Amino acid sequence: MTIDPSKVRRFAHGSRVPGWDEAADLAKDPAVVPDPASTPVPAQVRAAIEAHMASYPDVRSAAIPALHVVQREHGWCSPTAIEQAACVLRLTPAYLAAVATFYDMFSTTPKGRHDVYVCTNISCSMRGADALYEAMLTAAGDDPDFHVKAFECLGACDIAPMASVNGEYVGPLEPADCARLVDDLRAEREVLPDKQLRKRKVAGT
Amino acid sequence: MKVLYKDLDEPGLNTLDGYRRRGGYDMLRKALKMEPQDVLQQMLDSNVRGRGGAGFAMGKKMSFIPKGAMDKYLVCNADESEPGTFKDRELMQKNPHQLLEGIIIGAFAIGANKSFIYIRGEYQHQADVLDAALAEARAAGLVGERILGSDHSLDLVVHRGAGAYICGEETALLDSLEGKRGNPRLKPPFPAVQGLYKGPTLINNVETLMNVPVVLSMGAEEYVKLGTETSTGTKVVSVSGCVQRPGNYEVELGTPSREIIYGLAGGPREGRTIKAWFPGGSSAPLLPGSDEFLDLPYDFDSLAKAGSMLGSGAIIVIDDSISIVDVALKTAKFYRHESCGKCTPCREGTNWTVKMLERIQTGEATPMDLDIMASVQDQIIGNCLCVLGDSMAMPIGSMIKHFRAEFETHIEIARERGGLGVSIPQVNRGEQAGPYPMLEPA
């Protein structure tokens, strides 16, 4: 299997990364703390972030909770969302972008409203997680509301193969359950009530 | 004997009333009447070893915290992300108050007034349960200013992470808690001297802290009778993978591994045999499924002597239907994804290991790649700030060691399937080079 160099797509300066030399917004300086006067922040977002800031000796510690708040508000960590968090925390957007890109649960690209994380780590994959992930992708189709992601160990190997649906752990799943799961989410119902982890008893009892 | 898992499914246990019905927070009352030094001595005498992975004695760790008036912190590590581990999740969800009680007593013993529970972001339900329990405890005067009329005050915060395995490493956890990217720090200074916000910090796993009220209620002399001499107490073992009844089982340390895998978890499915097992999460070197290893007592020292480790107490069973190459690739991919990128041996080593394993899968590898892969693992171990790289190097190294023949067969089969033909022996490794005769040196 050799790579044909003429088939490799190249962008500016021979890079294989498209748009690597374009700043997100050339008009704004990400290294400057946003001006509260020109950065409107919704009142509930400000209140939630300030509540988090009050629980820590150093406001910087509220960076992750603040990003959770703005991601919930905006659907993803958009430049606007990061700027709002930065404005309340009095940090630079560049700093928060650095934090947001480090963690798996923050998305710096637009994503669907429903997070479906399918665990594809060792224990789950030995019980058919890869087939489950494929089935989940097929069931969600190209619906923009769904954000199906293969995730590393979610800490629920007792119900392998499993998925976390908007934070609700469900399992053990069959590929056939995916259609029901997607239907439940579309109808805004409780997801697979018979397979929820929170209702499960301790093993061996 | 069950200590943490005793009637864990009791209805209402996750509420303050339910926990009090079984004597909850009595130990806190008792501890607050004691001198902090005496509480610490109980922990030292009980010889409880950390349940998070390293197995360091908790009492000893507590005794490293300097005395005197300064801002000290106790951080509970609930960032349970080790593949195969799910004990803390169940414990926190079903019995949150025992964790809170352990934290409050621990903070009293070291003189900390501020405490954090760093819980992984994916555990949303468990974090909600902890928040609710914390609100109840605060309303009852168990957390806050002057707890139960004593001089001890403690502020407790449940901090939700956002999905990063590395944040389970103690110094990376501290960086993450300070609102930074979760990169590990250079040690020393150890967190006990300079940790969170540069103050002395004690970091313990959920299960370890939940053992604190247990030690106090039983007394250290009684507690050491559980388990073995050097591994005292009980351990919650998460069994998963190719077994019939995966789940958490609490056993006394020193229980034969066979009894856990076959007796409690039901063993492999009908007609299957155990090919290999991880004794302590995916970071622990893999052990073959032969009698010699299955008969090992499940405790810290026996597993270390056998060349593996107890780690977080997660047994992942692999049966003979699973290809060891697939397991190796899954393991390596996980560590590649989770490597924070700070140290070169880990960042590059995990990446190249994945690439080499993928070459084996696609039929582009030769047996020489196994030697290169093994040498990459050797060069990761001990050369990074934290043990994430080692956590990949040790299991992958052990897989190559114990299952070299299977890797070599896989390489040849994949080459044939890919139309590349048999591999040419490139290094003189005697009989190991495959089924084809070695070339005579010219």
Domain assignment of residue B4, yes or no = no
State the SS3 of A13-56.
Answer: HHCCCCCCCCCCCCCCCCCCCCCCCCCCCCHHHHHHHHHHHHCC
Indicate if B243 and B373 belong to the same structural domain.
no
- pLDDT tens string B13-61: 999 999 999 999 999 999 999 999 999 999 999 999 999 888 899 999 9
DSSP letter for each residue of A50-83: HHHHHTSSSGGGGHHHHHHHHHHHHSS--HHHHH
Element (H, E) at A95: helix A93-102
Domain spans of chain A, in order of start = 29-110, 114-199
Domain range for B348 is: 324-433
Distance CA B148, CA B142 (A): 6
**CA-based nearest residue to B48, from B190, B199, B216:** B216
Chain A residues 26-65 with CB within 8 Å of chain B:
55-65
Q: Strands of A168-170's sheet, edge to edge?
A: A146-151, A114-119, A163-165, A168-170
Mean pLDDT, residues B133-162: 95
B409-415 — which CB contacts under 8 Å span 24+ positions?
A: B410/B323, B410/B325, B410/B360, B411/B360, B411/B363, B411/B365, B411/B366, B411/B367, B411/B369, B411/B370, B414/B360, B414/B361, B414/B362, B414/B363, B414/B365, B415/B363, B415/B364, B415/B365
- The verdict on residue B417 lying in a domain is yes
3-state secondary structure of A118: strand
Q: Which of B250, B326, B236, B322 is nearest to B281 (CA)?
A: B236
Which pLDDT score, from 0 to 100, does residue A26 have? 60
**Among A33, A92, A109, A105, which Cα is nearest to A64's?**
A105
For residue B369, tell me if it sits in a domain: yes
- In order of A64, B51, B66, B254, B277, the CA distances from B310 in angstroms are 32, 9, 30, 11, 12
Between B364 and A129, name the one with better pLDDT: A129
Please tell me whether residues B309 and B339 are part of one structural domain. Answer: no
The answer on B337 and B311 residing in a single domain is no
B8 token code pair:
């864990």
Instruction: Out of B157, B161, B164, name the one closest to residue A55 (CB).
Output: B157
Same domain (yes/no): B206, B302: no
Last residue of a domain, one of B263, B296, B319: B319
User: Helices (H) and strands (E) in chain A — how many of each?
Assistant: 7, 4
- Mean pLDDT, chain A, rounded, equals 91
Which residues on neighbouring strands pair with residue B154, listed in sequence order? B144
Helical segments of B144-258, H only: 170-177, 206-218, 220-223, 257-258
DSSP state of B432: G
Alpha helices (H) in B140-169, listed in sequence order: none
| End residue of a domain, out of B299, B319, B339 | B319
CB contact (8 A) between residue A167 and residue B124 = yes
The shortest CB-CB distance from B318 to any of A98, A126, A203 is to A126
Q: Is B418 a domain residue?
A: yes
Could you read off the pLDDT of B370-389 as tens digits, one per residue? 999 999 999 999 999 999 99
B345 and B410 both lie in a single domain: yes
Read off the amino acid at residue B60. Answer: K
User: ipTM value of the model?
Assistant: 0.90
pTM: 0.91
B355: contact with A, CB 8 A cutoff: no
| Contact predicate B284/B238, CB 8 Å | no
Query: What is the Cα–Cα distance from B220 to B123, expressed in whole angstroms?
Result: 33
In angstroms, what CA-CA distances link A126 with A100, A197, B230, B243, B417? 31, 20, 34, 11, 23
Please check whether residues B340 and B388 belong to one and the same domain. Answer: yes
Backbone angles phi, psi at A92, to 5 degrees: -85, 150
Q: What's the CA gap between B131 and B100, in Å, rounded?
A: 11
The yes-or-no verdict on residue A93 having pLDDT over 60 is: yes
SS (H, E, C) B271-297: CCCEEEEECCCCCCCCEECCHHHHCCE
CATH (domain of B378): 1.20.1440.230
Residue of A nearest to B283 (CA): A122
Task: Tell me if chain B has a CB within 8 Å of the CB of A169.
Answer: yes
| Tokens 């050491």 sit on residue | B224
Asked if B78 and B208 sit in the same domain, the reply is yes
- Helix or strand run (H / E) with residue B317: strand B314-319
Same domain for B136 and B174, yes or no, is: yes
* Tokens describing residue B369: 């790649």
Residue B5 covered by a domain: no
B157 shares contact with chain A (CB less than 8 Å): yes
pLDDT, tens digit, 9 for 90 and up, residues B178-206: 999 999 999 999 999 999 999 999 999 99
Of B277, B302, B319, the last residue of a domain is: B319
Q: Which residues of B touch A104 (CB under 8 A)?
A: 162-164
Per-residue confidence (pLDDT) for residue B419, from 0 to 100: 75
d(CA B329, CA B360): 10
State whether residue A8 sits within 8 Å of chain B by CB.
no
Same domain, B160 and B44: yes
Quote the number of domains for chain B: 3
Query: According to the model, what pLDDT value does residue B425 have?
Result: 54
pLDDT of B430 > 50? The answer is no
Confidence of residue B276 (pLDDT cuts 50, 70, 90): very high
* Pair (B339, B368) in one structural domain: yes
- B238 and A98: CB-CB below 8 Å? no
Residues in chain B: 442
At A40, phi and psi to the nearest 5? -70, 130
Question: Helix (H, G, I), strand (E, B), or coil: what is residue B89?
Answer: helix
Tell me which architecture the domain covering A114-199 has in CATH: 3-Layer(aba) Sandwich (3.40)
Query: What are B256's strand-pairing partners?
Result: B297
Q: With cut-offs at 50, 70 and 90, classify the pLDDT of residue B438.
A: very low
Instruction: Evaluate whether residue B259 is within a structural domain.
Output: yes
Q: Give the C-alpha separation, B442 to B234, whole Å.
A: 62
User: Considering only residues 219 to 258 of chain B, which have any Cβ-Cβ distance to chain A shorter than 8 Å?
Assistant: 238, 240-242, 245-249
Distances (CA, A) of B105 to A57, B152, B153, B173: 22, 10, 11, 22
Contact (CB, 8 A) for B114 and B71: yes
- Which of A61, A98, A154 has the CB atom closest to B181's CB atom? A98
User: The CATH number of A29-110 is which of 1.10.1740.10, 3.90.1150.220, 3.40.630.30, 1.10.10.1590?
Assistant: 1.10.10.1590
Residues B149 and B26 in one domain: yes
Give B49's DSSP letter.
B
- Rounded to whole angstroms, the Cα distance separating B67 from B88 reads 30
CATH of the domain at B158: 3.40.50.11540
- According to DSSP, the β-strands at B287-288 and B274-278 are antiparallel
If you average pLDDT over residues B125-149, what whole number do you get? 96
Q: Are residues B40 and B139 in the same domain?
A: yes
pLDDT value, residue B386: 94
